[in-house]
Homo-oligomer: A and B are copies of this chain.
Amino acid sequence: MTELWLIGIGTGAPGHVTLEGQAALREAKAVLIPRKGAGKEDLAHLRHAILRAAGAEARVIAFDMPVRDPDLPYQQRVAAWHDAIAERWGVALADVPEGPVALLVWGDPGLYDSTLRIAARLSPPPKVRVVPGITALQALTAAHAIPFNTVNGAVMVTTGRRLRDHGWPEAAETVVVMLDGDCSFRALEPEGLHIWWGGFLGMPEQVLDHGPLAEAGPRIVETRAAARERHGWIMDTYLLRKG
């Protein structure tokens, strides 16, 4: 089996692509591109623009993303979906014996992304190379020009679901929340917390807000709903800090 290269391309700004990422796209023999990306159709043209900017001449292999079975329980549904994606990748990889085959991954392939877990399902397992990318963590703190951590402080990177279920993690001064479709900061007692929020980070549609959670929270709920309505989807992240 050929090599599989997972290339982090950042959060949607063409400028987030690294020189290593561009070089890898030029060296790849084929690039696997989903015809639809989880409802984010706005992003499809960005992948092609990134390939052009890199001067990539790789063969583009488009594949249809399988559909998730709504009748399965959550864990099984995701597992079955990953199996189905892996099967489609396997077919494409077998078709490019001269490899390597590249995949463009939003953000970084390691951060709240399934790509590595899907690649691990392939049989025989391909040699996997990961090219690191700019994550939403850095895009968020850069957009607000704030530090990720307090001096010598700890940062918890977590999900909206966990924030709702477990509250503020005791050992952290800072919490960054990913994968939150539900403004889960509403589950926290806002007193003493500050929020920095960003949607469409790095893209022309970027929206930012920040302030004491008690004041900025309700504003962000509205801004998020309006932006989601306008674009049909939204990807957002936020950082919460004590004091």
Contact = CB atoms under 8 A, between A and B. Distances in A.
Contact of A142 (B10, B131, B142, B145): B131
A187 interface: no
A179 B17 CA distance: 27
Contacts of A155: 156-158
A131 B17 CA distance: 12
A22 B117 CA distance: 33
A20 B19 CA distance: 10
Contact of A145 (B21, B128, B146, B152): B128
A78 B142 CA distance: 24
A138 B149 CA distance: 16
A161 interface: yes
- Which of A110, A143, A170 has most chain B Cβ within 10 Å? A110
A147 interface: yes
A156 B142 contact: no
Contact of A134 (B113, B134, B139, B171): B134
Given A17-B18, A17-B19, A130 B149 contact: no
Contact of A154 (B132, B148, B169): B169
Given A112-B149, A156-B171, A138 B8 contact: yes
Interface string A212-232: 000000000000000000000
Contacts of A152: 159, 161-162, 179
For chain A, which range describes its interface: under 10, 10 to 19, 20 to 34, or 35 or more residues? 35 or more
- Each complex incorporates copies of this chain amounting to 2
B130 A142 contact: yes
Interface string A1-34: 0000000101001111111111100000000000
Contact of A110 (B19, B20, B142, B179): B142
Interface in A148-200: 148-149, 151-152, 154-159, 161-162, 166, 169-172, 179
A116 B147 contact: yes
A138 B135 contact: yes
Contacts of A133: 134, 138
A53 B23 CA distance: 14
A8 B147 CA distance: 13
Nearest to A75: B151
Interface in A102-148: 108-113, 116-117, 128-135, 138-139, 141-143, 145-148
